[in-house]
Amino acid sequence: MGRYIGAVCKRCRREAQKLFLKGDRCYSPKCAINRRNSLPGQQSKRRKKQSEYGLQLREKQKTKRFYGVLEKQFAKYFEMAGRKQGVIGENLLRLLESRLDNIVFRSGFASSRKEAKQLVVHRHFTVNGQKADRPSMLVKPGDVVEVKPKSASNAKMKVLLDGKRMVTVPTWISVENKKATILALPNREDIDLEVTEQFIVELYSK
In this prediction, residue 76 has a pLDDT band, given cuts at 50, 70 and 90, of very high
Query: Is residue 136 predicted with pLDDT exceeding 80?
Result: yes
Rounded distance, CA 48 to CA 59, Å?
17
pLDDT mean over 153-175? 78
pLDDT digits (tens, 9 = 90+) for 29-73: 555 555 565 566 554 555 567 789 988 998 999 999 899 899 999
Class for the domain spanning 99-184: alpha beta
Q: Taking the alpha carbons of 92, 97, 98, 101 in that order, is the dihedral positive or negative?
A: positive
CATH value of 9-41+48-96 in 1.10.1050.10, 3.40.50.720, 1.10.287.130, 3.40.50.620: 1.10.1050.10
- CB–CB of 41/49 below 8 Å? no
pLDDT mean over 131-146? 96
Query: Is residue 3 predicted with pLDDT exceeding 50?
Result: yes
In this prediction, residue 1 has a pLDDT band, given cuts at 50, 70 and 90, of very low
pLDDT mean over 20-33? 56
> Which comes out higher in pLDDT, residue 97 or 45?
97
- pLDDT for the residue 24: 56
Query: Is residue 17 predicted with pLDDT exceeding 90?
Result: no
- Delimit the domains of the chain by residue range: 9-41+48-96, 99-184
Q: What angle do CA 20, 21, 27 make, to 5 degrees?
A: 40
Among the ranges given (84-88, 108-112, 180-184), the one the predictor scored with the smallest mean pLDDT: 108-112
- pLDDT for the residue 19: 61
Reference 118, options 137, 104, 131; nearest CA is 104
pLDDT mean over 19-30? 56
Percent of the residues in the chain that have a pLDDT greater than 70, as a whole number: 75
